[in-house]
Structures are given as C-alpha cells and as structure tokens.
Amino acid sequence: MDDSILEQRIRETLEKKAQDVHVDALTSQRIQTKVEQRIKEAEHMKHRGWKKVAIVAAAICVLGSITAVAVGKPSYTSSHSSHNEEVKDFATAKAMQNGYDASVKTVESFSNGYTFQYAMPEYNQTHDENHNAMESETMMNFSYKKQGKKDVSFSATRLGTSSEIADQIMTLDNGVELRYRKLANKFVPPDYQITEAEEKLIEEGKLNVGYGSDKVELINSLHVSWVQDGVLYSLYTFEDSASNHCLLSISTNLDGRDDFLYKVYGK
Amino acid sequence: MEEAELVKQMIAGDRDAFTHIMERYQPQALRAAYLISGNHADSEDIVQETFAACFLYRNQIKNPEAFKGWFYRTLSRNAWKICRRTKKEQPVAEPYAGDIPDPTETLKEVILREEEKALYSAIEALPVKQRAVIVLYYYSQMSIKEIAKALGCMEGTVKSRLFHGKAKLKELLQESEKNGGRTWTILS
C-alpha cells in the first residue's frame, strides 16, 4: 500500500471518528462547571495540605484496592474530605461516626502519647472501570498529634479489603492480621512525565504519584491496616525525616480503652 | 483577540480570558482526547484535568506564543495517566459510527465504511504513546517539531513513533485483508 494513500486514509478515518464527539452547549457547560469545581477544590487543597489528601487516597487505593476489573465490579476507590467540616471535639466526632456507622471503633488517645487533634467526614466511593459510581459511604477520619512527631491519621472503611502487598505482616493472638507498608510518594508538576521505571513501581503498588506540586518532591508514608468485623482500619503518617527508621506499629494487648485494642508508637 | 494576549491575561489570573481559551480549545481538545483514549467518559476527564491544570499552573507557561504546545503536552500526559489509571492501554471499543448501515448507501460508501472501521481498529490497537503521536500529527495537524515540543521528546522520537505507527497500521491492515477483510481500494 502506498504511504500517501495510507496517510490520507488515516486523516479521513480520524476526522470521521472525531465526529462521534458532539460538543454541544450542554457538554460545554458541563465541562466548564467541572473544571471550575476542580480548580476550586485544588485551590482549597493547596492551602489545606493536598499532599495529605493524596496520600490518604493512595492509602485507601493501595490498602483497600480491589483487584477485580470485570465490568460491574469495583475497580478503584476514590475519597475526598474537606477541612471546612473539621471537628475539634472528640465527643462530637465520635457521635458523628456513630451516626455513619456505630460499629466502627474510635479512641481519643493512645497510651504512647498521641492525642486526638481533629476529625472530619471522609466520603468514599467505589467505581467500576468505566468510572461509574458504585457503593458509597461516609466515615470520620481522625487525626492525632504528639509533640515532636508527625501527625498520625486514622480511618475506617467497609468498601475496601486488605491488599496483598505488605512489607511486614503481624498476626495477633486474636487472629487479626496487621499489615505494615512503606509507600514512596512523588509529588510532581502536572506536566511531569513518568519514566518507565516509575510506571513499573506504580503498577507494583510501590509508588504513588500525586500531580499538583510546583516541584518534584519525594515523601514516604507509613501505613498499617487491619480488618476487624468487616471494617478495614488504617493508620498512616508521613515518614519523619529526623527518624528514618520511624516505625509505626500496633499491638493489641497494650490499650484496652473502648474495647479497641491498639497502640501506636514511633521510634 | 490574539491567542497570546488571552494567554497573558490568563497567566495574570483573568478568569474571563481563561473561559475564552476553554471555549476556543474545547472542541478540538475533546476530540483529540477521544481519539487517544477511545471513549467519551475518559475524554471528558482528560479535557477537564487539562483545563484545570491550565489555570492552576498558569505560572509555568513561560511562553504565551507557544501555548498550544504546552496545552497538548498537558493533554497527552493526562491522557496517558488516565489510560494507565483505568488500565486501558487498549481503549474500550465503542460502536463505530459506521456500524449502522444506511439503506441508501452506495457500494462505494459501504466499502469505504468497512475500510475506515478496519483502520480505526488498527489505530486503537496501537500503544497509547504511538496513538497520541498519530492523533496529534494526522488529526490535530501539528508538525513534528510541535509534537516533539508538546511531548517533551526529541523530533527523532516523534518521527520514529510515526514511522513505526504507520508500519504497524500497514501490517495490521494487511493481516486483516489476509483474514478475509477487504482489499484496500482507491475509490476517489
């Protein structure tokens, strides 16, 4: 086949296929509204720590990610929260969580010194591979602080299952499996081109890339997850640069408050 | 108003200028995103993310005269990102417009429709980066130099992707012919 004929046909075929896209006033308006919404959200996150949100989303995605990709089955989970809905009082936060799902366990402080700082509703949604929304839920996301340490976040969901990926697994006496993993996060500008090596790491679940930073930044996050009574619990924090060997771990026999047996400590 | 002037105003934070740019670029951008991703839902996501990036990261646009290249670079990377996220290196097949037979079609039109269908399937089968180059070159009518700038790669890489893309298309079409497809015809 002559190259010029092929080229002519490619042009004609693409032109014709492109006519499938009807850019009417409604489509145009819908896109513009969503763009405005995204800008508003991004500007809000920029001032309120979007990196943390990206890590939370990655945590849910990685820890609770679902491998099924068949049509009609969840393919990924998305999550969003807003600091505008922040609650600084534990009793109120607990009452809100009870309103969403009373069986989720919560705790005000840990015996190692981490104390409740604030909480906010987290809206989780599963999607199929065509981005169609499937199941949704609202849970509270709790944040804990300790002098001289990075904040620790705590979340719960019924929409995820533990990932098979873990750097370390600890089985407790009651049979609960704690999964620990360290995740590398790379925050990059929107036009950043991912290398093939990075693509491989993303596919292996070892790297989370968050778009929106002005410059390339690498931050590790530490995650511990476990499933109890059908709820996937997750604790996560940024790795403390001052203590590279900081380890987030949990033990069931050290803190019995609220019948919720766990403890967090950082070395 | 000149595009470069609009871009300058957008960089300065002018929302109206941004809206004008969106209106100007939207139809072509949506169609290019559709041709790269292969489906309507993804193409809207790609275009939304690209426009949002335009405004949010407007300070990164160093040369307003070269905005088109910046825009399509962001669009292509969003397309790759979304295709990867949805694990759709190969786009989901959507009905080809020519799938519905028109009783008034002439034989010439029927043959053309079949050929276009086979060719589009072959384009869809290309890896996403190769497909993007084909779309930017043949549909968006960008030059090799512009594509290289837009994709942040060497002109040689663009030429190579075009060459191999075309070779692959030729191969796929010849294979299709062998398997009972129609022989390529020149009807014009």
For A57-90, how does the pLDDT look when each residue is reduced to its tens digit (9 = 90+)?
555 444 333 333 334 556 666 666 766 688 999 9
CATH 1.10.1740.10 holds for B1-94: yes
The helix/strand count (H/E) of chain B reads as 8, 0
Look up residue A102 and give its two tokens. Answer: 């009373």
Instruction: Give me the DSSP letters along A151-171.
Output: -EEEEEESS----S--SEEEE
Nearest-by-Cβ selection for B48 from A18, A19, A35? A35
Mutate to test the interface with B, among A7, A12, A191 (most CBs of B within 10 A): A191
Q: Which fold does the domain B96-188 belong to in CATH?
A: Arc Repressor Mutant, subunit A (1.10.10)
- Per the CB < 8 Å rule, is B119 touching A212? no
Res B5: pLDDT: 92
* CB proximity under 8 Å: A 70-129 to B: 75-76, 129
- Per the CB < 8 Å rule, is A17 touching B52? no
* CB proximity under 8 Å: B 2-21 to A: 19
Per-residue pLDDT of chain B (188 residues; tens, 9 = 90+): 688 999 999 999 898 899 999 999 999 999 999 999 888 888 998 999 899 989 988 888 888 998 988 899 889 888 887 877 665 444 444 444 444 455 555 555 565 667 777 888 888 888 888 888 999 999 988 899 888 887 778 899 899 999 998 888 888 777 766 765 554 544 43
Domains of chain B by residue range: 1-94, 96-188
Nearest-by-Cβ selection for B22 from A35, A129, A131? A35
Region of poorest pLDDT, from A108-112, A262-266, B121-125: A262-266
Nearest-by-Cβ selection for B35 from A14, A192, A211? A14
Res A245: pLDDT: 39
Residues of B in contact with A69 (CB under 8 A): 87
* CB proximity under 8 Å: B 45-84 to A: 45, 47-49, 51-53, 55-57, 60, 70, 73-74, 77-78, 80-81, 84
Residues of B in contact with A32 (CB under 8 A): 19, 22
On whether any CB of chain A is under 8 Å from the CB of B30, the answer is yes
3-state helix, strand, coil in chain A (%, to 5): 30, 30, 40
Look up residue B178 and give its two tokens. Answer: 């062998």
Query: How large is the average pLDDT for residues A152-181?
Result: 77
Res A102: pLDDT: 92
Integer-rounded Cα radius of gyration of chain A: 22
| For A61, nearest residue in chain B (alpha carbons) | B85
Region of poorest pLDDT, from A199-203, A259-263, B45-49, B89-93: A259-263
> What ranges make up the beta strands (E) of chain A?
76-81, 115-127, 133-145, 152-157, 168-171, 177-188, 207-211, 217-228, 231-238
* CB proximity under 8 Å: B 95-124 to A: 96-98, 115-116, 119-120, 123
On whether any CB of chain B is under 8 Å from the CB of A258, the answer is no
Res A186: pLDDT: 85
Look up residue A50 and give its two tokens. Answer: 């979007």
| For B94, nearest residue in chain A (alpha carbons) | A20
- Per the CB < 8 Å rule, is A190 touching B30? no
Look up residue A62 and give its two tokens. Answer: 């990685």
Res A75: pLDDT: 62
Q: What are the angstrom distances between the C-alpha of B50 and each of A116, A160, B3, B82?
A: 39, 30, 17, 11
Residues listed for chain A? 267
Of A207-221, A237-251, B82-96, highest mean pLDDT: A207-221
Contact B48, B90 (CB under 8 A): no
Res B179: pLDDT: 65
Q: How many A×B Cβ pairs under 8 Å?
A: 139
CA atoms within 13 A on the CB side of B164: 13
